[in-house]
Amino acid sequence: MTRPLRLLTGIAAWLLTVGVTLLGLAALTFFIGRVIPIDPVLKIVGEKATPDVYHRVFLELGLDRPIYEQFWGYLTKILRGDFGTSFATNRPVLTDLLNFFPATLELSTIGLLIGVALGVPMGVASAYWHEKWPDHVIRVVGLIGYSVPVFWLGLVGLFVFYYLLEWVSGPGQLDVFFVGTVDRITGSILIDSALAGEWEIFFNAISHMTLPALLLGYYSLAYISRMTRSVMLDQLSREYVLTARLKGASEFRAVVGHALRNAAIPLVTVIALSYGGLLEGSVLIETIFSWPGIGNYIYSSLFAADMNAVLGGTLLVGVVFVFLNMLSDVLYRTLDPRARRVG
């Protein structure tokens, strides 16, 4: 098989995998919406509606049709970008998702940067001092971040750093009198306030963002440091590291210049999955801190029995997670020639 044909075959297989995965995701969200014991008709018409009104809306929603026809209708709508209308906001769900998702993306990205900046060095140090006291301390720190419920850490953080010490601002993205004072351009409050030159709002947003971002960063750090330690232990036991040391390379060069350089390839996948996990797991943090993101949107919609919004938000998070997973696979194959040969 020639190289161009092999490349086209690989791209076609990748696109087919993505398509089947997204189709399965759409089917999963659809059937979850049907299994949950919430009556969408009753949510629209209200409990005092007459049977005739109830039946008319029931027919308008197509709930009388076979389940496969309902799924096909749902699939064709989401392919057109139609996720229905939110009962709570009375706006198209897609509009709500575009409004709320940038706040989640901003918070999760900062959390990931914190997790990478601290987690990778901690993982390297833990592997280098294997079974010594730095290794034990770092593993305990990671274990706490990985096992303690994030909502509990959020509540404790608010009580200590906001209520007792007053080091950070409280829940919300901004103080109340700053809300709506910056034109929405990108959806990121930090970027939009900086573009507008509103530095007081910019630093107010940082004060509100500090605690939830640090908590997400701690959660990410726990996973990244543990995986970095595992990968580095494998790399440090390889013969090329011993060879570098025998040739007179310093410990820093042997560990960072050789072992960490090779460990960076599998760590790409670890970081991408960690990013997806932050986007998925931001629901609790956003709820505790009243952060106007997609997690808080899904949570409030679920309690309002707004299934169009819940399914739309769940599908969006799932699509982003699938995209990050696929992107990590592409980057892995790009960075590692051995993976390209196997593929």
Q: What pLDDT, on the 0 to 100 scale, is given for residue 232?
A: 92
- Residue 8 within any structural domain of the chain: no
- Residue 157 within any structural domain of the chain: yes
Q: Are residues 240 and 119 in the same domain?
A: yes
Q: Are residues 22 and 134 in the same domain?
A: no
Q: Are residues 69 and 124 in the same domain?
A: no
- Burial of residue 47 (CB within 10 Å: 0-12, 13-18, 19+) is exposed
Q: Are residues 141 and 163 in the same domain?
A: yes
Q: Are residues 45 and 125 in the same domain?
A: no
Measured from the Cβ of residue 215, the count of other Cβ atoms closer than 10 Å reads: 25
- Residue 204 within any structural domain of the chain: no
Which of 79, 105, 127 delimits the end of a domain? 79
Q: How far apart are CA 228 and CA 97, in angstroms?
A: 34
Please identify which residue in the block is written with the tokens 């280098």. 128
Classify residue 46 as left (phi > 0), alpha (psi -120 to 50) or beta. Answer: left
Whether 229 and 131 have beta carbons less than 8 Å apart is answered as: no
pLDDT in tens, the chain (343 residues): 566 777 677 677 777 877 787 788 788 878 877 777 777 777 777 777 788 888 888 887 777 788 888 888 888 888 888 888 887 788 899 999 988 999 999 999 999 999 999 999 999 999 999 889 999 999 999 888 888 888 888 889 999 999 898 888 888 888 888 888 888 888 888 999 999 888 999 999 999 999 999 999 998 999 999 999 999 999 888 888 888 888 888 888 888 888 888 888 888 888 888 888 887 767 788 888 988 888 888 888 877 777 788 888 888 888 888 788 777 777 777 766 555 554 4
Q: What is the CATH number of the domain that holds 104?
A: 1.10.3720.10
Measured from the Cβ of residue 122, the count of other Cβ atoms closer than 10 Å reads: 23
Q: Are residues 143 and 220 in the same domain?
A: yes
Q: Are residues 75 and 116 in the same domain?
A: no
Q: What are phi and psi of 59, to 5 degrees?
A: -70, -40
Q: Are residues 72 and 218 in the same domain?
A: no
Domain total of the chain = 2
- Residue 333 within any structural domain of the chain: yes
Please identify which residue in the block is written with the tokens 């940082």. 206
- Residue 178 within any structural domain of the chain: no
- Residue 282 within any structural domain of the chain: yes
Which of 79, 110, 132 delimits the end of a domain? 79
Q: Are residues 231 and 325 in the same domain?
A: yes
Q: What pLDDT, on the 0 to 100 scale, is given for residue 126?
A: 93
Q: What pLDDT, on the 0 to 100 scale, is given for residue 207?
A: 92
Whether 106 and 323 have beta carbons less than 8 Å apart is answered as: no
Structural domain range at position 39: 18-79
Q: Are residues 145 and 263 in the same domain?
A: yes
Q: What pLDDT, on the 0 to 100 scale, is given for residue 214?
A: 92
Q: Are residues 271 and 304 in the same domain?
A: yes
Q: Are residues 283 and 224 in the same domain?
A: yes
- Residue 152 within any structural domain of the chain: yes
pTM for this structure? Answer: 0.83
Q: What pLDDT, on the 0 to 100 scale, is given for residue 295?
A: 84
- Residue 252 within any structural domain of the chain: yes
Which of 29, 53, 79 delimits the end of a domain? 79
